């Protein structure tokens, strides 16, 4: 499923390293370094990507950046996530990114695996939002992750530990939540 991705992932990591120049006060993740063994796709929600660029949340910023770099080969995004990311970092942050830096960030994120949205995903999300206590947009994220074959959905918008079939929701900012 992820065949041919090493060069794209390497390019993405290089681009993200350039765009994510650490600040001296940023620090690193608390605790010992963790080595991830899984090769399953991990779907990343918009909020995790936004924190990687949010200067007002240094702890979450450092954690999001480290996670993106460590899991580069496994990360899956959707076109929905990329669009939400652009709108959020240019309009909703206390200190928004300028348009050029936001476009460069989207270009870098596009080197991860990006799944398009189609009519069937939209229909599935509508059905899920009617049968589960999820907004349509959260249901679309869940359906996109399932469609991508992801086993982990990284987000802070859904309940940590919640499952949807083989998909497990992980809030990576919880102290007890470092996914394996």
Mean pLDDT of the 9-14 span: 52
The model carries a pTM of 0.79
Query: What is the structure's pLDDT at 41?
Result: 97
Instruction: Find where tokens 């929905």 sit.
Output: 80
For residue 179, tell me if it sits in a domain: no
Specify if 14 maps to a domain: no
67 within domain boundaries: yes
Domain that holds residue 139: 38-170
For 36, residues 6+ apart whose C-beta sits below 8 A from its C-beta are 70, 71, 179, 180
* Predicted confidence (pLDDT) per residue in 131-141, tens digit: 989 999 999 99
Asked, for residue 99, whether it belongs to a domain, the answer is yes
Residues 98-154 have pLDDT tens digits of: 999 999 999 999 999 999 999 999 999 999 999 989 999 999 999 999 999 999 999
* Residue 176 in tokens: 């007890």
How many domains does the structure of the chain reveal?
A: 1
Diameter over CA atoms, the chain:
47
Q: What is the CATH number of the domain that holds 96?
A: 3.40.50.1010
Q: What is the pLDDT of residue 18?
A: 47
pLDDT in tens, 24-62: 333 333 333 333 444 899 999 999 999 999 999 999 999
12 domain residue, yes or no: no
């Amino acid at each position: 499923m992820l065949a041919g991705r090493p060069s794209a992932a390497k390019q993405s990591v290089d681009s993200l390293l350039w765009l994510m120049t650490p600040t001296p006060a940023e620090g690193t993740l608390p605790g010992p370094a963790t080595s991830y063994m899984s090769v399953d796709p991990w779907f990343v929600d918009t909020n995790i990507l936004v924190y990687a660029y949010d200067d007002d949340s240094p702890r979450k910023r450092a954690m999001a950046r480290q996670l993106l770099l460590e899991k580069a080969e496994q990360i899956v995004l959707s076109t929905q996530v990329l669009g939400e990311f652009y709108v959020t970092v240019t309009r909703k942050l206390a200190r928004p990114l300028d348009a050029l830096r936001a476009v460069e960030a989207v270009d870098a994120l596009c080197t991860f695996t990006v799944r398009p949205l189609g009519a069937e995903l939209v229909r599935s999300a509508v059905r899920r939002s009617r049968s589960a206590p999820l907004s349509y947009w959260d249901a679309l994220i869940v359906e996109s992750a399932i469609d991508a074959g992801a086993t982990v959905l990284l987000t802070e918008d859904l309940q940590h530990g919640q499952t949807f079939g083989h998909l497990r929701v992980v809030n990576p900012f919880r102290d007890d939540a470092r996914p394996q």
